[in-house]
Structure 1
Amino acid sequence: MPMSADSLRSHLLEAFPDAEIDIVDLAGDGDHYRARVVSGAFAGLGRVKQHQMVYAALKGRMGGELHALALETAAPEGKG
């Protein structure tokens, strides 16, 4: 069963409560999303580590409920 955008947002907010999150369903199928996540938790970290943190927040759903995620992460301006 695909993951809804609301469910994806909930998982991300659970891990990154301060996050600004923008989610776009790329194919209209609930299986291919683009997400931009801006969180202070990413301050000072490289892009790979930031993405690893997002995948960890999805708790194994990547590749199952969620087939594809085009991901953009950043710390808030002025925070690294």
Structure 2
Amino acid sequence: MKLALTHLLVLSLSLTVCAQTPDTSALTKVGQAVPDFTVTTLDGKVMKTSDLKGKVVLLRPIQKEKYTASSRSSISRETM
């Protein structure tokens, strides 16, 4: 009986955690201005988002560790 109550308690707590919706109020939405940040390009140039003001920009973040050089080039060809 004690084991069953423990399992029930763990199950109810895990369902409670899973049922909570994440707070999306801090996320940038489509059409909203992007927060100002700085990145370094592959050829070493430093770019700021404020330098791109008034231009249409597609931000496509990738994980550096996940892709090899050959897969990045195929991704670039797909988007052009």
Which of the pair has the greater relative contact order for Cα pairs under 8 Å at 6+ separation? Answer: 1
Query: TM (normalized to structure 2)?
Result: 0.23
Query: TM (normalized to structure 1)?
Result: 0.23
Larger strand percent: 1
Larger helix percent: 2
